A and B are shown apart, each in its own frame.
Chain A
Amino acid sequence: MATHAEAAEHHHGPPVANQSSRVDSRVLGMFLFIASEVMLFGAFFTAYFFVRVVAGSPWPEPPFHLPVFVAGVNTAILVTSSFTIHWALQSIKRDNRAGLQAGLVLTLALGIVFLLTQVREYSRVGFNPGDGAFGTIFYGLTGLHGAHVFVGLTLLTFASIRAFRGHFSAAHHHGVEIPGIYWHFVDVMWIVVYVTIYIL
């Protein structure tokens, strides 16, 4: 490679990599990350399984109650936000910037309402993480999920900033699509948490 120094003079960057898969690398990366996240939830659900099924902890542990109805309304809020983010993505795919911005803002608002409702629930539910394994698992799983909502909101905030500063187009919208995939995951995960913690 005697010509290397010479080549470096002319080349100001790497050669274009061969694209050996139809899947976009960023989308694939997000799916793998979500696989990893699902397993993290899996660890928490395993702990839940041991506490409730193997150790036989009563659920909810008397005298405590779980606010099934309020959490149900909250579930509806989060599910709605999945539709609004989908709308935002479909809008930019048709080059509709106003739709993109409105969809993102609505999603953000719904996500924030969800989190605030959860904080309010924490302050009124009447037990804390130290109240038996029941309290531990309740706060563990809902808290883990809340942290994910927070991460999702952060990603969507970034996407919104960019949307309002003129980024994204019908051809370039990975910056909306990828946080959107994450947001759907957070949503689906909540349904699993809601069903197993509150209803079953």
Chain B
Amino acid sequence: MSHVTGTSVHVETGHGHGPPPRARHWALRAGWVRAAWMTGFFFLLGLGIVVFFRWLGGYDPTLDWEPVIVVAGLTMAPLGFLAGLGGFDYWVSYALGSPTRPEDHSGHGAYTWRDYFRVNTDHKVIGIQYVSSTVFFFLAGGLMAMLVRAELARPETEFFDTQTYNELFSVHASLMIFLFIIPAFAGLANYVLPLMIGAPDMAFPRLNALSFWLLPIAGIMLLASFFFPGVGAGWTNYPPLSTEQPFGNVFFSMAVQWAGASSIMTALNFLVTIITMRAPGMTFWRMPLLVWANFTTSLLVVIATPFIAGSQFFVMFDKVMHTNFFDPGENGYALGYQHIFWFYSHPAVYIMMLPGFGIASEVISTFSRKPIFGYRLMALSLMAILVLGFSVWAHHMFVSGMATYLRVPMMVTTLLIAIPTGIKVFSWLATLWEGRLHFSAPMLWALGFVSMFVIGGLSGVMLGAVPIDIHVSDTYFIVAHIHYVLLGGSLFTIFAGIYYWFPKMTGRMYNERLAKIHFWLTLVSFNATFFPMHLIGVQGMPRRVATYEPQFGDWNLFISLSSFVLGASFMIFVYNVIVSWKSGPPAPANPWRGMTIEWLVSSPPPVFNFDEVPQVVGNPYEYGVKGARHAILNGDRAAAELEPVRST
């Protein structure tokens, strides 16, 4: 932006902004010390704001802890943390009209482990920050699942009172959805997407850094909710159940705001990056399917996420400010919440699935040594899912008491989505057909995904049919379905992606044997855990209840034991990753003989990705096609011009 020299004589103004960072006192320098005191300072500021306005309005008591926690604790303090860490430094100095500091790239790249704990503008560092912290929240959410299963091993209450049980499964779901699946995909894409399209970084690197640092805030809020009980209405947080929860329910509402803001900012960044920063020759029809997948996902995020933000504002206002969005006694409309919530949360199912489709396409094509079957149809079916995904939300509300005439249209659109999804499944199968299959760990996870996702998709079609849905609503059949889709679907592709790009991200190979053991143990224990839930669900075992009829006892004991094996299987992954990252054998630039651009640079890639932006000359998946190339890097050009280059 505007570079001003000559006229500007402004130097250091002393606090919170201004170049250069090294000259500052240690307590004023961007970092954890400043983050600590600014968190406290902003909390006090928030406290002052609340007290001032309550005094102004003549409310009694002037110091009320509930608004203080919402405004000072859950809004201002996190802002202070971000400001202290340095998330806003550049913008503050820009806004105050200081001369634009020439970019010295001091915030770029990671040279020691400390560089992962600061505001870093390198998309590769941010990608690793994302993936590592989401794995942390995955383990935390997984631990809660273990506690839930421990409670459910016997029909009576064993370990927890019912409110604590409700909070365990609610926070489990919230962590897995908002702090694991959605941001884990964002993290993987953050790392590889700019490389794949031949961009030196994301379009807005500082915004990218900020969107990462919003995540730990949201995660800590959800974890802290155990000290402020109230997140016990499920991740769906329906009123009036949620508005009648204890005060701590606001921790869910606010965590969703922070995580949602993070995902909107990232999505916006992906969209602008994909539209404006593709390498020469990289037309939309030459983009790898992972890029297509994140393009459609980001559109979904930008359009849909504000709806869950709205829905959680309404619940919080009804709770804290005693408004009447959902109070029927005051002309409010409780069912409206479900419409608004699912208008986000059904598309969110695709936000949690489409990036996984992209990863599966990359992996399956590379390990089958064949071009992806029906590339254009794969991309178009993503767009079809995007459009159809907005027309089906009320299939979550068949038994809610909504207008009955909405049922059949929503059923029809729901079943229609099986068509683009089916196109994708058949395209993967056709890609595998007569391919030279290599069953490395990423491929195993991708194949596991296709098979598990088909099971989840079939139960989804069953649930889309109104009569079946009415019968199994709020039973374990739903729990089975969602876990086949989100665990067998999203989680499996996340692991496919992590193993696939692990050599690229860390520069080291993981232990293939352990990765395979991890896969098979997860696959078997996952099915042992969740398949029986279909059966007890059809027999009528209700979900979200700490106790159940003794007739379901045997199955539940079996499910709980299997789930502990499932939980343990992830320890293999954690061990493998930590040990391989420290001392695995060095990875070559292209261990899988992939064609997309991220494999043309070293592992890990140079700090600025490329010395020169690559030239794209062909399709991304021309495996086994003689002489075909996707892209050429500097120095290669003369050689490439001699070879016959296939293009469409």
The stretch that binds A, out of B162-170, B200-208, B466-474, B484-492, is B200-208
B1-32 interface code vs A (CB 8 A; 1 in, 0 out): 11110011010000000000000000000000
* Nearest-CB residue, chain B, relative to A35: B302
Alpha-carbon distance between A168 and B271 when the two chains are bound, in angstroms:
27
Q: Is A36 an interface residue (CB 8 A)?
A: yes
Q: Which residues of A contact B8 (CB under 8 A)?
A: 165-166
Q: How many residues of A contact B (CB 8 A)?
A: 63
Contact with B along A124-146 (1 / 0, CB 8 A): 00000110111111011000000
Partner of A8, one of B201, B310, B607: B607
* B306–A55 touching, CB < 8 Å: no
CB-defined contacts of B272 to chain A, threshold 8 Å = 25, 28-29, 32
Min distance, Cβ A200 to any Cβ of chain B, angstroms: 17
Number of B interface residues at 8 Å Cβ cutoff, please give it: 69
Decide if B323 touches A33 in the complex (CB within 8 Å): no
Question: 1/0 per position for B600-619, CB-CB distance to A under 8 A?
Answer: 01100011111111000000
Chain A positions 170 through 199: 1 when the CB is less than 8 Å from some CB of chain B, otherwise 0: 001111000000000000000000000000
Flag whether B569 is at the interface (Cβ < 8 A): no
Q: Is A63 interfacial (CB-CB < 8 Å)?
A: no
Q: Are B613 and A55 in contact (CB under 8 A)?
A: no
A23 to chain B, nearest CB (A): 6
Majority-rule SS of A interface residues? helix
Task: Give complex CA distance A33, B601 in Å.
Answer: 33
Contact B332 A43 (CB under 8 A): no
Interchain CA distance A164-B97 in the complex, whole Å: 9
Of A37, A47, A136, which one neighbours B306 at CB under 8 angstroms? Answer: A37
CA distance A7 to B613 in the complex (A): 14
**Whole-angstrom distance between the alpha carbons of A54 and B327 in the complex?**
14
Per-position binary interface string of chain A over residues 1-33, scored 1 when its CB falls under 8 Å from any chain B CB and 0 otherwise? 100100110011111111111011100110011
CB distance from B488 to the nearest CB of A (A): 31
| A18 with B302, Cβ < 8 A, contacts A25-B203, A50-B339 known | no
Is residue B638 within 8 Å, beta carbon to beta carbon, of the partner chain?
Answer: no
Give the shortest distance, in Å, between B271 (CB) and chain A (any CB).
6
Which of B33-41, B276-284, B551-559 lies at the interface with chain A?
B276-284
Establish whether residues B268 and A14, one from each chain, have CB atoms under 8 Å apart when the complex forms.
Answer: no
Most buried by A among B1, B317, B339: B1
Task: Decide if A29 touches B204 in the complex (CB within 8 Å).
Answer: yes
In this complex, the member of A24, A37, A140, A169 whose beta carbon has the largest number of chain B beta carbons within 10 angstroms is A140
Residue from B4, B333, B606 whose CB has the most chain A CB atoms within 10 Å: B333
When the two chains form their complex, are residues A21 and B7 in contact, meaning their CB atoms are under 8 A apart? no
Contacts A8-B606, A36-B268, A166-B7: A130 and B276 contacting too (C-beta < 8 A)?
A: no
Which residues of chain A come closer than 8 Å to B314, judged between CB atoms?
A: 47, 140
**A44: Cβ under 8 A from any B Cβ:** yes
- Known A-B contacts A11-B608, A40-B310, A165-B97; A130 and B324 likewise in contact (beta carbons under 8 Å): yes
- Which residues of chain B have C-beta atoms less than 8 A from A13's C-beta? 103, 105, 608
Interface string of B281-323 (1 = CB under 8 A from A): 0100000000000000000001111110111001001000111
Are B331 and A57 in contact, CB atoms less than 8 angstroms apart?
yes
Known: A18-B278, A158-B94, A165-B8. Is A43-B310 also a contact (CB below 8 A)? yes
Smallest CB gap from B204: residue in A: A29
Chain A residues whose CB sits within 8 angstroms of the CB of B330 once the complex forms: 132-133, 136
How many angstroms between the C-alpha atoms of A57 and B330 in the bound complex? 9
Please indicate the chain B residues that have their CB under 8 angstroms from the CB of A175 in the complex.
1-2
Q: Are A14 and B2 in contact (CB under 8 A)?
A: no
Measured between alpha carbons, how far is A32 from B267 in the docked complex, in Å? 9
CB of A98 within 8 A of chain B?
Answer: no
Neighbouring B residues of A133 by C-beta, 8 Å: 324-325, 327, 330-333
The answer to whether B324 touches A132 (Cβ under 8 A) is yes
Q: Is the CB of A167 within 8 A of B97?
A: yes
Knowing A15-B613, A36-B306, A37-B306 touch, does A20 contact B606 (C-beta < 8 A)? no
Let me know if B148 is at the binding interface, CB within 8 A. no
A42 touches B (CB below 8 Å)? yes
Flag if B340 contacts A47 (CB, 8 Å): yes
Q: Knowing A33-B268, A172-B1 touch, does A7 contact B331 (C-beta < 8 A)?
A: no
Report the bound CA distance from A51 to B97 in whole Å: 46
- The yes or no answer to A96 lying at the interface (CB within 8 A) is no
B199 at the interface (CB under 8 A from A): yes
Residue with the highest number of chain A CB atoms closer than 10 Å, among B268, B311, B343: B268
Evaluate contact between A39 and B275: CB separation under 8 angstroms: no
Assembly CA distance A84 to B166 (angstroms): 55
The answer on a CB contact under 8 Å between A50 and B333 is yes
A135–B269 CA distance with the chains assembled, in angstroms = 37
Given contacts A32-B271, A42-B307, A167-B97, contact A61 B1 (CB under 8 A): no
B278, B282, B309: the one within 8 Å of A40 (CB)? B309
Q: Do the beta carbons of A16 and B268 come within 8 Å of each other?
A: no
Partner of B612, one of A15, A21, A161, A165: A15
B241 CB within 8 Å of chain A:
no
Contact residues, A37-95 vs B (CB, 8 A) = 37, 39-40, 42-44, 46-47, 50-51, 54-57, 61
Cross-chain contact A14 with B309 (CB below 8 angstroms): no
Closest chain B residue, CB of each to CB of A17? B277
User: What is the bound-complex CA distance between A100 and B325, given in angstroms?
Assistant: 43
Residues of chain A within 8 A of B589, CB atoms compared: 1
* Smallest CB separation, A71 vs chain B (Å): 21
User: Which B residues are in CB contact (< 8 Å) with A16?
Assistant: 200, 613
User: How far apart sit A158 and B2, CA to CA, in the bound complex (Å)?
Assistant: 14
What 10 A-B pairs are tightest by C-beta distance, nearest first? A43-B310, A14-B200, A50-B336, A1-B602, A165-B97, A158-B95, A14-B608, A40-B306, A172-B2, A57-B331
Residues of B bordering A, CB below 8 Å: 1-4, 7-8, 10, 94-97, 103, 105, 198-201, 203-204, 264, 268-269, 271-272, 275-280, 282, 302-307, 309-311, 314, 317, 321-325, 327-328, 330-333, 335-336, 339-340, 343, 589, 601-602, 606-613
Q: A17-B201, A29-B204 are in contact. List 17 more A-B contacts (CB 8 A).
A: A1-B601, A8-B608, A20-B276, A21-B275, A23-B275, A42-B307, A46-B307, A46-B336, A46-B340, A56-B331, A136-B323, A136-B332, A158-B95, A158-B96, A166-B8, A167-B4, A172-B1
Q: List 27 A-B contacts (CB under 8 A).
A: A7-B611, A11-B608, A16-B200, A16-B613, A17-B613, A18-B279, A19-B276, A20-B275, A24-B276, A25-B276, A29-B204, A29-B269, A39-B305, A42-B310, A55-B328, A55-B331, A56-B331, A129-B317, A129-B322, A133-B331, A136-B317, A136-B323, A158-B96, A161-B97, A166-B4, A166-B7, A167-B97
